[in-house]
Amino acid sequence: MIGFPFLALHVKVTLITSREEIYPYVLHRTCGRNLTRNPRCSSRTLSKLRRAVPEVEADVNAVDVRGLSRSFDGREILRDVSFTVGHGEIFGYLGPNGAGKTTTIRILLGLLAPGAGEVRVLGRDLAADDDARARVGVLFENNGLADRMSAADNLAYYAGLYGVEDPAARIDELLALVDLADRRDDPVGTFSTGMKRKLGIARAILHRPEVVFLDEPSSGLDPGAQRMVRDLIVELSRREEMTVFLNSHHLDEVQRICSTVAILAGGRIRAFDSVANLTASSGRPAVTVSLADPGERARACETAGNLPYVTECDADGNSLLCTIADPGATPDLIAALVGAGFRIEEVRRSSRSLEEIYLEHVGQAEGGA
Amino acid sequence: MSTLAVIARREIRLALRNRGALITALIFSVWFPVMSALSIAVGAGGDTAAVAGGIAAITLPVGVFMGYIFCADAFLREKRDGTIETLLCAPVSLRRLWEGKAIGVTVPAYVMMLLSAVASIAAIAGLTGVSVSAEPLLLLHFVAVVPIWIGASAGLIGAAQLALGMRENQILGFVFIFGFIFLIGGLQAVMSGGPGISATMEGVLAAVGLALLGLARAIAGKVTKERIVRTIP
């Protein structure tokens, strides 16, 4: 619908003035956020708009998935999947094997067509937009490296494909960042799994993408290398303001570094929220009370259970897990237990781990299936 | 450097570092023409045109076969390893990727064919004393006809390797290569008016080669990223 007025305005404004600050501003004001979805709006125009009108950037999510469905050979893999990822976020996409995580990434990257629904990365359809693909980086399981070429040659190849400016300096910078500067001329085939992974990450961010998709970046790595990859992801998000779309099975890793997660199971999004909200939303506030004498657990549990604001109390190892009606009642609980003569070693608010939440949602999905 | 040159250059470098493919190509490009040179030398006697025709008849299938050998590295290996998926995410069209790879296969295959031609000419010159190195039609054959056919076969086989699954590729790879060799043999048998190299024969071969190149380009244009990704093992 807006195609014709947009084109008319485009011609008109180009004829009237070539001043860049007026041109994109008028376009933005006239077409609003629809402009970013207009296939006739080239990436170059969009880039101009972004520079000139900061609101445009705010209008467009880094990743936007709406009502996405996809079937293979009559089997429905994704059903009405919707989520968004904001700029600069580290987003964790979780789900069991075969849940459709890689299919989602492939659809986002334009490698597969969506069956139904709409996907956008930086407001663009990557399947149809070569320029937009230059603003996105990707690391699949295979790292995308040629074993017979050296580390530097592999990076130089991708630098050529992405049109990286001053590739030699950028390659040196990245090889130093991933601690492979001394192996720059060695064939990648002689590298360990961890070294290949690090080089794969360097390759994925070589062209300074705005969004980077990382598919299981720390799989097959030793704990030291996993930590290095984790730190690198956080550093990239912070220093280069990169949006990171992380597909991972390492729930501990996701909980540590991701700001937002979506849990995919049975082809549907089962949870989509910030990590803080998800782990805090156990439904009922609870506190864990560790006793100095574990032999007193049963008696302490009975005492706590009789308190009016304690709805449930279970002995859990050397501790009591008390579910309370009101989080503000925690000091009263501690006072009551101390008053009853119990020696308390530690009290902490109980929050669920991402792993518990994940297993709960996946379990529900499997039960439902 | 254009993306086409970047892709082609990388494939050439990879081909030159693939020892297995290089050894196979070297053995085939030297052994086969040298052995054939014996029968050419006997059949042609001292007739320069007949010797040139014999060499032209050998070098074309050799060039096509060399293309097939290097295609396995440029297209099939990339798909088997899954690295093609990363390449498909680059800001390069699928057609450009295919073109770059096809050129990257054609160049080393052409160099191997030239080596094969030099070996044939040297062997025949040694056996019969006949030198055909300055034969204009043979030079035209090497400069125009053979590269067109190598490019066409590399493009067609490459497009098929991108579009088909691994098992289908194992079967159809042989079908393609023998199809090409039978086609060349058939054209040479039908068009040949006698022993020797002729302008008509070279013209027909060049025309058919160009048609195949166009067919390869059309087929490559039909291959989709989805098709490639869904046939990655």
Lowest mean pLDDT among A15-24, A172-181, A266-275, B59-68: A15-24
DSSP secondary structure code for residue A145 in this structure: -
**Terminal CA-CA length for chain B:** 33
pLDDT score recorded for residue B42 = 75
- From CA A213, how far away is CA B9, in angstroms rounded? 27
Pairwise CB contact (< 8 Å): B229 & A106: yes
pLDDT tens-digit readout, A201-239: 999 999 999 999 999 888 778 888 888 888 888 888 887
Interchain contact B7–A (C-beta under 8 A): yes
pLDDT tens-digit readout, B36-76: 887 887 776 777 778 888 888 888 999 999 999 999 888 88
**Terminal CA-CA length for chain A:** 42
Pairwise CB contact (< 8 Å): A141 & B226: no
| Contact (Cβ atoms closer than 8 angstroms) between residue A217 and residue A197 | yes
CA angle, residues A117, B230, B214, in degrees to nearest 5:
105
Pairwise CB contact (< 8 Å): B225 & A110: yes
pLDDT score recorded for residue A21 = 46
The percent of residues in chain B predicted with pLDDT above 70, rounded, is: 98
pLDDT tens-digit readout, B101-145: 999 999 999 999 999 999 888 888 888 777 777 788 889 999 999
| Contact (Cβ atoms closer than 8 angstroms) between residue B223 and residue B94 | yes
pLDDT tens-digit readout, A124-147: 899 888 889 999 999 998 899 999
What length is written for chain A? 369
pLDDT score recorded for residue A99 = 87
What distance in Å separates residue B84's CA from the closest CA in chain A? 7
Mean of per-residue pLDDT scores for chain B: 88
pLDDT score recorded for residue A353 = 76
- Select from B154, B145, B112 the least CA-distant residue to B23: B112
Backbone phi and psi for residue A125, each to the nearest 5 degrees, phi listed first:
-95, 110
- Select from B198, B68, B209, B62 the least CA-distant residue to B145: B209
Tell me the pLDDT band of A16, cut-offs 50, 70 and 90.
very low
pLDDT tens-digit readout, B202-225: 899 999 999 999 999 999 999 999
Mean of per-residue pLDDT scores for chain A: 82
A324: Cα within 13 Å, side-chain hemisphere:
24
Among the partner-chain residues A112, A133, A136, the one whose CB lies closest to the CB of B229 is A112
pLDDT tens-digit readout, A67-99: 999 999 888 999 999 999 998 899 999 998 888
Among the partner-chain residues A130, A146, A148, the one whose CB lies closest to the CB of B92 is A130
pLDDT score recorded for residue B154 = 93
Task: Give A21-27's long-range contacts (Cβ < 8 A, gap of 24+).
Answer: A21/A52, A23/A48, A24/A48, A24/A49, A24/A51, A24/A52, A24/A53, A25/A52, A25/A53
What distance in Å separates residue A355's CA from the closest CA in chain B? 30
Residues of A in contact with B10 (CB under 8 A): 146, 149, 157
Interchain contact B225–A (C-beta under 8 A): yes
**Residue A27 in tokens:** 């376009």
What distance in Å separates residue A197's CA from the closest CA in chain B? 13
Radius of gyration over every alpha carbon of chain A, rounded to an integer in angstroms: 26
pLDDT tens-digit readout, B19-47: 888 999 988 888 888 888 878 877 767 77
The percent of residues in chain A predicted with pLDDT above 90, rounded, is: 39
